[in-house]
Amino acid sequence: MGDTPPRSADAGTGASRVITDHARPAGASARPAEDVPTSRTPGGGALGGGGGLPRRRAFGAERAFRGLTLAAGTAVLVVIVAIAVFLVAKAVPALRANTVSFWTFEGWFPNDPEPRFGIGALAFGTVLSAVLALLVAVPVALGIALYLSHYAPRRLGNALGFLIDLLAAVPSVVFGLWGRDYFSGPVADLSAWLNRYFGWLPLFGGDGPYGASMLLGALVLAIMVLPIITSLSREVFRQTPTANEEAALALGATRWEMIRTAVLPYGRPGVIAAVMLGLGRALGETIALALTLGITFNISFNIIDNGGNTIAANIANAFGEANDTGRGALIASGLMLFAITLIVNITARAIIHRRREFTESAA
């Protein structure tokens, strides 16, 4: 709502700023007259006079600078490829040494003389914790995003949005510490209660002890991804064309109907992308889960008994006593995580990209 006026006002100041800033570069541009020949001498020899257009620059600064930036751009691609290559290089020997199936074995004993380790339970735990976290976080995050963009007074919305952005910056180890030292108590109580009244569901079965469970890990994770999903979706919701919103309201829609017919359809791709990014973050989260999960290696849908483990948390926990094969095994599991997050992220980016094209062509 009313997003356009400040933006256009900003653009105005930007334009006026252009002029004031221009004074300096313009002054600087007087300098090339004396600058250019010196920079050209090594490449093109003495041109003298210097009245003409600078033509000779086969090896000039322009080339060099362009080459420099090209190298920096290539470095990004090199890093991505290098990540994959080095992880594979270190993982393969460990996978060769593995005496059981990497995919199905439930356990992690890579440091034994006969290494045995499997990714199955870890991958399952990673996906389960991330999905549970998103199930909790997404509805709440969308609620907050809508509240901030369409319900709260504008000033309050901006201030709270700022606060949410700050929370996104809080390091994960802090959330992990909070989850382990404080939040595990209430969650244990909740688990006991769930077990007592809903124990007939496999999710809440078992007989304790409760506390350091998948539920705790997933809830802490949910609190961590909440700010990310909120701030991205809020941004999308705020970009809804005011004309659409006003048209809906003018036709007699209630506020909710306006949101449902104008805001949500417009924001859907953005929200999907935000959720995918949150998913990527949840899948890769390490320290918070290493601190809150009770480390076990089994595939179980029981989310309230002590236990649960994820790929990333296992790396953090098992790294200390890992020998050479152990490190290779952890790197192999990291490679799996890399592959999973890569798929999630590429999907998210593809969705965002499609949306970008869509909005640009619509505008």
Query: Considering the rule CB under 8 A, would residue 188 count as an interface residue with other proteins?
Result: no
For other proteins, the binding residue among 105, 117, 130, 172 (CB under 8 A) is 172
- Pick between residue 76 and residue 362 the one whose CB is nearest to other proteins: 76
We find the least distance from the C-beta atom of residue 362 to other proteins, in angstroms, to be 19
Cα–Cα distance list, 303 to 15, 133, 183, 307 (Å): 57, 12, 16, 8
Distance of CA 182 to the CA centre of its chain: 26
- Pick between residue 130 and residue 300 the one whose CB is nearest to other proteins: 130
The one segment of 97-105, 204-212, 297-305, 332-340 that binds other proteins by CB under 8 A? 332-340
Cα–Cα distance list, 267 to 10, 145, 146, 244, 261 (Å): 24, 11, 11, 12, 11
- Pick between residue 276 and residue 300 the one whose CB is nearest to other proteins: 276
Size of the site for other proteins (CB under 8 A): 109
Query: Considering the rule CB under 8 A, would residue 36 count as an interface residue with other proteins?
Result: yes
d(CA 271, CA 259) in angstroms, rounded, equals: 14
Query: Considering the rule CB under 8 A, would residue 73 count as an interface residue with other proteins?
Result: yes
We find the least distance from the C-beta atom of residue 70 to other proteins, in angstroms, to be 6
Query: Considering the rule CB under 8 A, would residue 90 count as an interface residue with other proteins?
Result: yes
Residues with Cβ within 8 Å of 356's Cβ and at least 6 positions away in sequence, in order, are: none
* Strand, coil or helix: 116: strand
The one segment of 99-107, 108-116, 117-125, 340-348 that binds other proteins by CB under 8 A? 340-348
Query: Considering the rule CB under 8 A, would residue 50 count as an interface residue with other proteins?
Result: no
Beta strands (DSSP E) in the chain are 108-109, 116-117
- Pick between residue 75 and residue 243 the one whose CB is nearest to other proteins: 75
- Pick between residue 21 and residue 246 the one whose CB is nearest to other proteins: 21
The residue type at 224: M
For other proteins, the binding residue among 4, 56, 75, 208 (CB under 8 A) is 75
Residue list 225-244, contact with other proteins (CB under 8 A):
226, 230
Say if residues 140 and 221 touch (Cβ distance below 8 Å). no
What is the H or E stretch that residue 301 is in? Answer: none
We find the least distance from the C-beta atom of residue 153 to other proteins, in angstroms, to be 13
Angle at 284 between CA 278 and CA 286, to 5 degrees: 120
d(CA 341, CA 346) in angstroms, rounded, equals: 8
Of 230, 224, 231, nearest to 140 by C-alpha is: 230
For other proteins, the binding residue among 106, 107, 261, 338 (CB under 8 A) is 338
Instruction: Report residue 108: phi and psi, to 5°.
Output: -145, 85
We find the least distance from the C-beta atom of residue 175 to other proteins, in angstroms, to be 7
Query: Considering the rule CB under 8 A, would residue 79 count as an interface residue with other proteins?
Result: yes
Residue list 252-311, contact with other proteins (CB under 8 A):
254-257, 259, 277, 280-281, 283-287, 290-291
For other proteins, the binding residue among 174, 201, 251, 299 (CB under 8 A) is 174
Residue list 97-136, contact with other proteins (CB under 8 A):
none
Query: Considering the rule CB under 8 A, would residue 250 count as an interface residue with other proteins?
Result: no
Say if residues 179 and 220 touch (Cβ distance below 8 Å). yes
What is the H or E stretch that residue 125 is in? Answer: helix 120-146
Query: Considering the rule CB under 8 A, would residue 363 count as an interface residue with other proteins?
Result: no
Residues with Cβ within 8 Å of 212's Cβ and at least 6 positions away in sequence, in order, are: 180, 184, 292, 293, 294, 306, 307
Residue length, the chain?
363
For other proteins, the binding residue among 210, 341, 351, 355 (CB under 8 A) is 341
Query: Considering the rule CB under 8 A, would residue 334 count as an interface residue with other proteins?
Result: yes
> Which residues lie across from 109 on neighbouring strands?
116
- Pick between residue 151 and residue 301 the one whose CB is nearest to other proteins: 151
